[in-house]
C-alpha cells in the first residue's frame, strides 16, 4: 500500500449472523482527503464504515492500515489512528459535554496514567473547533440535536486521530448545522491534513464537499472518483433508481443533481 492510501481493504466480506452484506470489497481511502460513501439504504455503507473502524470483524478478507492487517492491531493502537462516530450513540445521564469530550483521550492514556496537560489541550482544542467551548459545562441530554452532534464530533476530535470515520454526521440536523459540520470536515481535511470518510445522504452536499465519492450498490463499489467524474445521471439512475438531471452548481461548479419526478 502506498502512502496515499493509509487505509484500505482487500477482498473484504462483511455481514451479520452469517448473512453477507458486503462482498469482496477492495476499497482504498485516499489519505488527506474527504471521501464520501453514498448509496441506497441498506446497501452496506454503514457496515463498511463499521468494519473500517474495527467495530465489525470481517467474515473474509483484510483491512489494512499502513499496509498492516488491522486485526493484528491492539484496539487501543487502532483507536490512536482511527476515530469513529457511529449513529445513535447515547451519552449516559447527567454527563456534561466536557466529560464526554474527555472520553476521547481514552486510547492515549495507560491504565495508571494521570490526566495530562496534553489531554487538556486536546479537549480544549476539540471544543474550540466545534464551537462547543461555551457549552462545555452543559449536560449532553439538555442540548439540541445539532449541539449534541457537535459534542460527539468534539469527542472524536479529542481522540486526535489522523483518520476519522463519520456515519451520517449530518442526519437529523437542520440546514445551518449540516453546513457547519461539513465546513468543519473540510477544514479538518484541507487545513489539518486529516483523512475523513463519511456516509452522507445528500448527494449535492456530497458533490460539493467531497474530494472523492464512492457509489455503493448491493455491498459493492459501483463507481468511485472525484465528484465531477462520477456524479452522473447514469450513476444516480443505476445506484438509486432515480432519474436525475446533473448540472453544475452555480456557486461551486461541482455537479448538482436534480431528481426528475417519475411522472414526467
- Which residues of the chain form contacts with other proteins (CB under 8 A)? 50, 53-55, 57, 74-80, 83-86, 89-95, 99, 103-104, 106-107, 109, 111, 159
- Whichever of 96 and 243 has its CB closer to other proteins, that residue is 96
Least Å distance, CB 207 to other proteins, is 28
* Residue given cell 487538556 in the structure block: 120
Using an 8 Å Cβ cutoff, are 181 and 85 in contact? no
Cβ nearer to other proteins, comparing 108 with 201: 108
Burial class of residue 18 (count of CB atoms within 10 Å of its CB; 0-12, 13-18, 19+): exposed
Minimum CB–partner distance for residue 186 and other proteins (Å): 23
Rounded to 5 degrees, φ, ψ at 220 are -125, 155
With beta carbons less than 8 A apart as the criterion, state whether 122 and 105 touch: yes
The residues that bridge with 213 in the sheet, in sequence order, are 36, 225
**What is the nearest approach in angstroms of other proteins to the Cβ of residue 70?**
12
Look at residues 149, 160, 155 and name the one whose alpha carbon lies nearest to residue 101. Answer: 155
CB of residue 99 to other proteins, shortest distance in Å:
7
Closer by beta carbon to other proteins, 84 or else 200: 84
| Least distance CB 242 / other proteins (angstroms) | 31
* Element of type H or E holding 84: strand 82-85
Q: How far is the CB of 172 from other proteins (least distance, A)?
A: 17
Q: Which three cell numbers stand for residue 6?
A: 493509509
- Can you list the pairs that 257-264 forms with residues at least 24 positions away whose Cβ atoms lie under 8 Å? 257/203, 257/204, 257/207, 257/231, 257/233
Amino acid at each position: 500500500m502506498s502512502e496515499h492510501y493509509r487505509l484500505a481493504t482487500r477482498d473484504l466480506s462483511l455481514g451479520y449472523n452469517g448473512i453477507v452484506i458486503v462482498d469482496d470489497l477492495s476499497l482504498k481511502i485516499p489519505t488527506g482527503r474527504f471521501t464520501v460513501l453514498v448509496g441506497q439504504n441498506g446497501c452496506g455503507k454503514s457496515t463498511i464504515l463499521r468494519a473500517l473502524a474495527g467495530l465489525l470483524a470481517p467474515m473474509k478478507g483484510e483491512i489494512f492500515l499502513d499496509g498492516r492487517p488491522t486485526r493484528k492491531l491492539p484496539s487501543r493502537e487502532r483507536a490512536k489512528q482511527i476515530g469513529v462516530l457511529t449513529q445513535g450513540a447515547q451519552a449516559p445521564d447527567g454527563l456534561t459535554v466536557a466529560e464526554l469530550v474527555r472520553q476521547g483521550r481514552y486510547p492515549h492514556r495507560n491504565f495508571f496514567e494521570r490526566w495530562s496537560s496534553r489531554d487538556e489541550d486536546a479537549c480544549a482544542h476539540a471544543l474550540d473547533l466545534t464551537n462547543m467551548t461555551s457549552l462545555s459545562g452543559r449536560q449532553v441530554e439538555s442540548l439540541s440535536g445539532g449541539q449534541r452532534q457537535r459534542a460527539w464530533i468534539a469527542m472524536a476530535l479529542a481522540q486526535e486521530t489522523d483518520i476519522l470515520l463519520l456515519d451520517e454526521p449530518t442526519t437529523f440536523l437542520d440546514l445551518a448545522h449540516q453546513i457547519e459540520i461539513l465546513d468543519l470536515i473540510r477544514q479538518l481535511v484541507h487545513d489539518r491534513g486529516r483523512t475523513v470518510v463519511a456516509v452522507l445522504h445528500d448527494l449535492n452536499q456530497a458533490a460539493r464537499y467531497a474530494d472523492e465519492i464512492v457509489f455503493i450498490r448491493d455491498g459493492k463499489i459501483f463507481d468511485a472518483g472525484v465528484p465531477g467524474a462520477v456524479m452522473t445521471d447514469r450513476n444516480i439512475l443505476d445506484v438509486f433508481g432515480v432519474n436525475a438531471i446533473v448540472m453544475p452548481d452555480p456557486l461551486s461548479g461541482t455537479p448538482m443533481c436534480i431528481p426528475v419526478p417519475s411522472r414526467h
